[in-house]
């Protein structure tokens, strides 16, 4: 009797984000190092490359958040600009992908295309761009544009922004650099010529930077709305997801993947990577105790009250974070936390759900905030974490994860040293890099050499 064929096991994709926002970093921990010094970035990137991760990711906001008119200091503030850091990291890494958030609302396609292409050249084909949009006039004040863009238009601008950027990359062919000393020619005569006219951009001229090594650097997107999911299905190579509870993650995964066919794309052309944390110790019990310690450090008393105030739209500093929720109703028109997208809409419904959960579970303010915004995802011994992470991927909850360690820069060490070897033992994670570009690591295949309609439209 023949043995049934073993079902194909998906390969797990792993990336790391150097934490900065959403109270993930415990920067006050004595084991944390500088949140700004280059060596912190370099140390984490080297660890990720030692662990054979796909890429290193830096998030970024364009304005410091404010809470009740004061700087929101529970976030990390003062980080250097993303692409500048990644250009420096290109010199101290060899294979690791380098991904940066760059805003499509308060930038211009020509400049972004040039900066991303330059990073791709400097790194030998390892650049990625996380395309984000901004919704608020608060951020716009930094650019003298006010609100600048109606929220309903932000994805249409982003889609056109990305289209123009790709046209700029495509304005050079792969063989346009043709040094010919005898004739005195360096590039093809028509290299870099482009033109685009659309609702948001009317640009034409010559692009300065030759075609990136990847053709099109990897495009990442993080939208959760229906419009964001559609944008990702049409144009992204990777989508960040916040869904790391398996049942919800499976539904999100299935929904986004089913949308690909409408754009002539296959299931494997878009990787879905939720952000997640991993807490590893010798035993499950030790890991659980450590995870609780981390969570309570991330959601301290001040943070718990600040999160509640963001939803309630009121000053709640007189309330005990270890006591019950306030008996006052939220003020739906007041905004006490500015520059944070998570608490800006649907706050009345959020407050209703939070109050119901707190009453059902008899939770204090701090316990409630930990329940809804805290907690660690993969907790246990190395074997427990490896098994849980692999199960999540094999059952189509994700294609992998972007790990967010709570300590900078050594929070990834235990995972790389103790969990990665077990994933390799399972046959679901690489034992060596087999390609040189980020597109290789992600299994995306090469970008088109040039669009059929040419560089101009």
Provide the mean pLDDT of the chain: 90
Check whether residue 335 and residue 393 sit in a common domain. Answer: no
Residue 128 and residue 57: Cα distance in Å, rounded?
9
Nearest-angstrom CA–CA distance, 290 and 286:
6
Is residue 24 over pLDDT 80?
no
Rounded-to-integer distance, Cα 410 and Cα 26, Å: 12
216 three-class SS: coil
Q: How many CB atoms lie within 10 A of CB 279?
A: 25
- Amino acid 451: pLDDT: 44
pLDDT value of position 179: 83
Q: Is residue 294 assigned to a domain? A: no
Long-range contacts of 141-149 (CB under 8 A, 24+ apart): 141/63, 142/62, 142/63, 142/106, 143/62, 143/106, 145/106, 148/105, 148/106, 149/105
Whole-angstrom CA distances from 266 to 252, 258, 269, 351, 366 are: 17, 9, 6, 40, 44
Same-domain status, 252 and 367: no
When pLDDT is averaged across residues 375-396 and rounded to a whole number, the result is 96
For 221, 246, 250, 388, the CA distances from 397, given in Å and listed in that order, are 18, 6, 4, 11
Q: What is the pLDDT of residues 255-294, one digit of tens each?
A: 999 999 999 999 999 999 999 999 999 999 999 999 999 9
Residue 15 predicted with pLDDT over 60: yes
Q: Which of 373, 408, 430 is the endpoint of a domain?
A: 373
Q: Is residue 213 part of a domain?
A: yes
Percent above pLDDT 70 for the chain: 94
Please tell me the pTM assigned to this model.
0.92
Domain match, 389 and 368 both: no
* Same-domain status, 214 and 354: no
Tens digits of residue pLDDT in 408-418: 999 999 999 99
User: Within this chain, do residues 324 and 431 fall inside the same structural domain, yes or no?
Assistant: no
Is 288 a domain residue?
A: no
Claim to verify: residue 368 and residue 385 sit in the same structural domain: no
Residues with Cβ within 8 Å of residue 115, at least 6 apart in sequence? 83, 102
Query: What is the domain-level CATH number for residue 266?
Result: 3.20.20.30
pLDDT at 2 over 60: no
The domain total for the chain is 2
- Pair (403, 365) in one structural domain: no
Whether residues 307 and 413 fall in one domain: no
Residue 455 has pLDDT above 60, yes or no: no
290 within a domain of the structure (yes/no): no
pLDDT at 194 over 90: yes
Q: What is the pLDDT of residues 313-367, one digit of tens each?
A: 999 999 999 999 998 988 877 888 877 766 666 788 889 999 999 999 999 999 9
pLDDT tens digits along 89-99: 999 999 999 99
Q: Write down the pLDDT at residue 23.
A: 62
Domain range holding 99? 13-283+379-442
Per-residue pLDDT tens digits for 68-108:
888 877 777 788 999 999 999 999 999 999 999 999 999 99
Mean pLDDT of 361-387: 93
Last residue of a domain, one of 373, 402, 422: 373
Residue 30 reports pLDDT greater than 70 = yes
Q: Which residues of 429-452 are buried (b: 16+ CB within 10 A; e: fewer)?
A: bbeebeeebbbbbbebeebeebee
> Do residues 275 and 364 share a domain?
no
| Residues tagged in the binding site annotation | 101, 155, 225
Does residue 392 share a domain with residue 324?
Answer: no
For residue 67, pLDDT beyond 90: no
- On whether both 186 and 241 belong to a single domain, the answer is yes
Specify binding-site residues for FMN: 101, 155, 225
Q: Copy the structure tokens of residue 82.
A: 């993303």
Whether 140 and 209 map to the same domain: the answer is yes
Asked if the structure places residue 336 within a domain, the reply is yes
Please report, for residues 74, 335, 372, the alpha-carbon distance to residue 366 in angstroms, rounded to integers and kept in the order given. 15, 21, 10
Among the candidates 322, 343, 373, a domain finishes at: 373
Confidence tier at 5 by pLDDT (50, 70, 90): very low
- pLDDT > 70? residue 22: no
């Amino acid at each position: 009797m023949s043995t049934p064929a073993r079902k194909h096991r998906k390969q797990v994709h792993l990336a790391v984000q150097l934490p900065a926002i959403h109270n993930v970093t415990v920067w006050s921990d004595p084991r944390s190092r500088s949140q700004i010094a280059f060596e912190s970035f370099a140390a984490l990137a080297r660890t990720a490359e030692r662990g054979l991760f796909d890429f290193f990711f830096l998030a970024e906001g364009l304005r410091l958040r404010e809470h009740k008119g004061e700087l929101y200091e529970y976030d990390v503030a003062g980080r250097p600009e993303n692409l500048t850091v990644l250009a420096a990291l290109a010199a101290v890494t060899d294979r690791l992908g380098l991904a940066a958030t760059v805003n499509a609302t308060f930038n211009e396609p020509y400049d972004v295309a040039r900066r991303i292409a330059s990073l791709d050249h400097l790194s030998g084909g390892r650049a990625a761009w996380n395309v984000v949009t901004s919704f608020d006039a608060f951020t716009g004040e930094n650019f003298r544009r006010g609100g600048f863009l109606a929220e309903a238009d932000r994805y249409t601008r982003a889609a056109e922004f990305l289209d123009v950027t790709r046209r700029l990359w495509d304005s050079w062919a792969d063989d346009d650099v043709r040094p010919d000393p005898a004739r005195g020619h360096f590039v093809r005569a028509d290299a870099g010529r482009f033109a685009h006219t659309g609702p948001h951009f009317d640009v034409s001229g010559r692009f300065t930077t030759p075609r990136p090594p990847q053709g099109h650097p990897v495009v990442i997107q993080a939208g959760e709305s229906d419009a964001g999911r559609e944008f990702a299905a049409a144009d992204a190579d990777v989508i960040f997801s916040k869904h790391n509870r398996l049942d919800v993650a499976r539904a999100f995964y299935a929904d986004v993947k089913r949308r690909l066919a409408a754009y002539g794309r296959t299931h494997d052309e878009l990787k879905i990577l939720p952000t997640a944390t991993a807490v590893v110790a010798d035993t499950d019990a030790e890991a659980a105790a450590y995870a609780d310690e981390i969570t309570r450090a991330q959601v301290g008393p001040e943070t718990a009250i600040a999160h509640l105030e963001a939803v309630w739209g009121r000053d709640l500093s007189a309330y005990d974070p270890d006591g019950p929720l306030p008996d006052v109703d939220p003020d739906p028109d007041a905004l006490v936390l500015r520059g944070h997208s998570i608490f800006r809409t649907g706050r009345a419904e959020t407050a209703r759900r939070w109050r119901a959960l707190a009453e059902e579970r008899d939770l204090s303010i701090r316990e409630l905030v930990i329940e809804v915004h805290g907690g660690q995802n993969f907790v246990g011994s190395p074997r427990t974490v490896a098994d849980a992470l692999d199960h999540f991927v094999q059952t189509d909850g994700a294609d992998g994860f972007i790990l967010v360690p709570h300590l900078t820069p050594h929070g990834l060490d235990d995972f790389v040293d103790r969990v990665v070897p077990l994933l390799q033992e399972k046959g679901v994670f690489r034992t060596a890099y087999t390609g040189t570009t980020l597109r290789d690591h992600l299994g995306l295949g090469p970008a088109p050499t040039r669009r059929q309609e040419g560089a101009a439209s």
